[in-house]
Structure 1
């Protein structure tokens, strides 16, 4: 079947099992071919082909609500709901989003990108359904990795208590991005190997009914036997004790098993947990045999060999540069430990884990726990390095405020993927961390101009003893600068002049420094002398340099690849006002008050006018104003 011609999933209801199997292969072939050109989350989607087909066959979307937790496994859902013809634009600027998106389709009823949210949202939809007297099904699909998130466990507790009709599909592939960890993962492992519980329970009930009831004692004994069988067959029966009817485990690639259990789930009152076992990457050998998460999400690749197509790079990956510098420091400082919330591969911590297995902690998708764990370690004079993506640090904000900053603990937060990240879009752009960290007492925030300064910043953070310190670093690779052999600590709050100038100054840091230097070069050709400052400490500011610039009445332009509201530019404005220079000429460039969609970083910067040419325009408009006042 040409899957690009599919407009609506209703046709599935008339397909035979053989036709469903054939369609499954067509969809897999389509995904493997298209994602080889665009990149994307190939592993999760190849694993849910049959499951998605079965769900759409037995339910009526969008009346029935599918909530895809995390959402990176929604490509098959998108194909079945009429978006297959747009897959050549997947994750590209103005193209098809890699996650559920309400403005794309009425079938996308919940937007995701972060994990563990689907159950809470589903509970909200179920409550609304019952209040309004509607009769639709609510079906969240959550992975075993996302189930470790505290929010998901809170929702399970509430759903089980309220007894609302809901069918929770647990897509169990033993992976999130990296292999799953934790006690709950072990519980699910025992469920996988325990075999099917429900049929054995039913058989036992039939036998017990044949025994003549001799008083209440035998009846009580019979119930006890049934309960003991429950615990024997499925260790702990975690979900049933929470109030769910547990079905499974079910082979998620077998239509007969899927059909039988979905039908039964639809007839069951109250919350149901349908435990489905799937194979991440199924049907594509490199992805199917991936043990570390490489094929969770990729760029373009060669179909025949599975080789990833990588663009030419000059310097090391930023994540590797930071984690390897921490690893180097850990060789001489036994207090250093590393913590990651399920991102050991993305944060390039495999080397640290290999060398220091007793000092490396992957806590699963549990950012709040990871953050307070780091705080607890710091109270005992350890030096925790918390490696966390900017977008995921948002999920642990209260822990940063309450547990780290309030207690002024020496935690080093490595803020990975800071700034625009491109194809993953709105849910993953790392543009809010400056605004939400800058307001916190005791916090130091910094960002290096290149990988050499980056390694010195890591050393600065690991030798800093006066409270929490965060270092932002972008997605991608460094520029290939020469690296110093010896590491040294940078003075906290110190800036660096990269280019002298007398007519105006650009204050910036990190990824926007090349933009500032290029703008200064262009302005020099028109006769303007522009100072460029590497404002590498976002908090605290270099107050001495700020005072010098303000006393010179020099127009200032701040540039940041982060939100303007509450950001670095706001800090500069606040300082000028508080220092008595409220009349100073200050302009700001950064992310406007909007969520930034998916696309290449270059395209996105152009879209929001965060460009070299805009910097030139602003400086040119500011300097005449200075001359007129003089």
Structure 2
């Protein structure tokens, strides 16, 4: 990658501060060019970072990172921060396995104070850092860069309450106001910020909370930003610097991207001259069909698109169906429903806790709410799911997008805890569809359930070809059953789309003289009695899930078999009980042994062990 002009001279914040002010516009343009060329090749968050180029330059010229603490919320707007803190040369590996993280990462640099990629956390971190500075009597400045979308989160409001209540504890809140999160920011705060931008506000919310307020400031005017930030620092008090930016600034396709398609972009092909290949001219690579004959998972509709279409159909058929999103209208598939039935879709901002508690209110009033969130964001609303929905046996359906291994977003976005969390909730029913057809069916079954909460989990990407059932065991689907059992016979219980890998594993086992029955339980919060009885007729049971092992489906199967006094060895395959790194989904599944080869190898090893106390087996290879 060619670098010219100011960029080679700026390798750290100290070099940035030495750069003459006259060079800063050229630096900003070079950073913007590098963002566009890099992110469109690797994939990543483009629009948010284009909007904070000048803001980031100003922050690093006024404050001395890492001596001064700079916390980024949400972390996906920190690409320019990374470029200015010695990591510009690594952007070719952005979001790749063993490459540069798409979020702040403490292992990469001392300038990354917090590895936050869930929104609305930075102000609480800043409050704690400021308290520590006060107790330790250090002169460290504390800066939190937070977007107006993240400011809608309940945690941010709790932090503001504390920060504003301590006038002698300085925190500089850099409010990056571009009027959007994924989509336009919603609620009373968004209206108030618009009034502040227009100069028509009758009061000032931040001043009423006890914070000083500077702005609004043009977030693309470096001298104005530096002046405001210097003033904020000199106040030695809690202060909000209201910076007005434009998402995607400096790149016309991103600036005019009302659908937020360029908020985050996938890797895109380029011509030899470096220009992007237009979307309409791209040619999809052909699907590969494994030698086992199991059809590929690379085709078919996207999981989220299936949900989007089915929810519209459900809403037309049932007037009680409503939907709630926490600022993720398009990513979770609710946009189509919002177009078809706008009065029945509610965007509550980045506030998952409120989304679920509000759903409880809707259900109490006789509606059937569908709460659509990324799996990993359900973590925030666990208390509301448990105590506000489940305790009252309310019919709320949770649509858990991005469950399991998601890929390049890394640890904060892998949906690897939802099974364990929901398994703790009394009365909840959890479905894991193996393909798009099953997603439609299970979503309808979930919404039809009125005795308590339900959840439907599915991954990112495409759903692949339908996998038909050859028989049924109660409510479970039998996907493969050998006509004759060998002396060594295995039951493979699979969760969701890993059914495809299990079917391939069964074929691999057959070639080594081991027969296998493959069963998709469909509902993974309970095990059908017929499946339990069938387990006793096998020499080994293997559970396969892309969820953390502790508290997952395998643990539920172990408890169920013990309760039913079914003495059969059990091998539990899933994700390591640790934070999983970033990388391609298939590569990460391979690392975790969740491929056909890994499943077959684990089954063969489990048969050889042959011990009934093998409640959990993890070989040294990491399977």
Does TM, normalized by the shorter one, top 0.5?
Answer: yes
Find the counterpart in structure 1 of residue 186 from structure 2.
181
For structure 2, the 5+ residue unaligned runs are 286-297, 614-623
CA shift in 2, pair 1:152/1:306, >3 Å: farther
Find the counterpart in structure 2 of residue 475 from structure 1.
460
Find the counterpart in structure 2 of residue 600 from structure 1.
584
Partner Cα distance (1:434, 1:3) in 2: 46
Partner Cα distance (2:181, 2:611) in 1: 59
SS in 1 for 2:44: coil
Alignment counterpart, residue 17 of structure 1, candidates 16, 21, 36: 21
Find the counterpart in structure 2 of residue 564 from structure 1.
549
SS in 2 for 1:87: helix
SS in 1 for 2:493: strand
Partner Cα distance (1:264, 1:627) in 2: 70
* 1:68–1:142 contact (8 Å) kept in structure 2: yes
* 1:4–1:85 contact (8 Å) kept in structure 2: no
TM-score (norm 1): 0.89
Find the counterpart in structure 2 of residue 78 from structure 1.
82
1:110 is the counterpart of 2:105: no
* 1:388–1:416 contact (8 Å) kept in structure 2: yes
Partner Cα distance (2:426, 2:75) in 1: 36
Superposed CA deviations along residues 579-629 of structure 1, whole A, max 9, x for unmatched, are 223x42100110111100111112212223333222111221233455999
Partner Cα distance (1:480, 1:604) in 2: 22
* 2:145–2:173 contact (8 Å) kept in structure 1: yes
Find the counterpart in structure 1 of residue 267 from structure 2.
300
Find the counterpart in structure 2 of residue 268 from structure 1.
235
1:520 is the counterpart of 2:523: no
* 1:377–1:383 contact (8 Å) kept in structure 2: yes
SS in 2 for 1:561: strand
Superposed CA deviations along residues 121-156 of structure 1, whole A, max 9, x for unmatched, are 000000001111100100000000000000000000
Q: 1:419: Cα distance to partner?
A: 0.6
1:245 is the counterpart of 2:249: no
Higher share of residues assigned helix: 1
Alignment counterpart, residue 354 of structure 1, candidates 328, 333, 339: 339
* 2:404–2:415 contact (8 Å) kept in structure 1: yes
Superposed CA deviations along residues 508-534 of structure 1, whole A, max 9, x for unmatched, are 021211111111101111111111111
Partner Cα distance (1:3, 1:440) in 2: 53
Find the counterpart in structure 1 of residue 605 from structure 2.
621
Partner Cα distance (1:148, 1:87) in 2: 31
Find the counterpart in structure 1 of residue 288 from structure 2.
none
For structure 1, the 5+ residue unaligned runs are 195-232, 485-489
1:548 is the counterpart of 2:526: no
CA shift in 2, pair 1:9/1:119, >3 Å: same
Alignment counterpart, residue 611 of structure 1, candidates 587, 592, 595: 595
Which is worse superposed, 605-614 or 410-419?
605-614
Superposed CA deviations along residues 438-494 of structure 1, whole A, max 9, x for unmatched, are 12111001111110111111111121122111011111112143999xxxxx99982
* 2:149–2:350 contact (8 Å) kept in structure 1: yes
Q: 1:186: Cα distance to partner?
A: 0.4
CA shift in 2, pair 1:505/1:326, >3 Å: same
1:372 is the counterpart of 2:357: yes
* 1:5–1:82 contact (8 Å) kept in structure 2: no
* 2:490–2:603 contact (8 Å) kept in structure 1: yes
Q: 1:262: Cα distance to partner?
A: 1.2
Alignment counterpart, residue 441 of structure 2, candidates 456, 462, 483: 456
Find the counterpart in structure 2 of residue 495 from structure 1.
476
Partner Cα distance (1:151, 1:239) in 2: 16
Superposed CA deviations along residues 225-260 of structure 1, whole A, max 9, x for unmatched, are xxxxxxxx5432100011111000000111221121
Which is worse superposed, 90-99 or 519-528?
519-528
Alignment counterpart, residue 192 of structure 1, candidates 189, 197, 214: 197
Alignment counterpart, residue 580 of structure 1, candidates 540, 565, 586: 565
Partner Cα distance (1:465, 1:492) in 2: 24
SS in 2 for 1:376: helix
1:418 is the counterpart of 2:399: no
SS in 2 for 1:470: strand
Partner Cα distance (2:364, 2:408) in 1: 39
Find the counterpart in structure 2 of residue 509 from structure 1.
495
Partner Cα distance (2:412, 2:529) in 1: 34
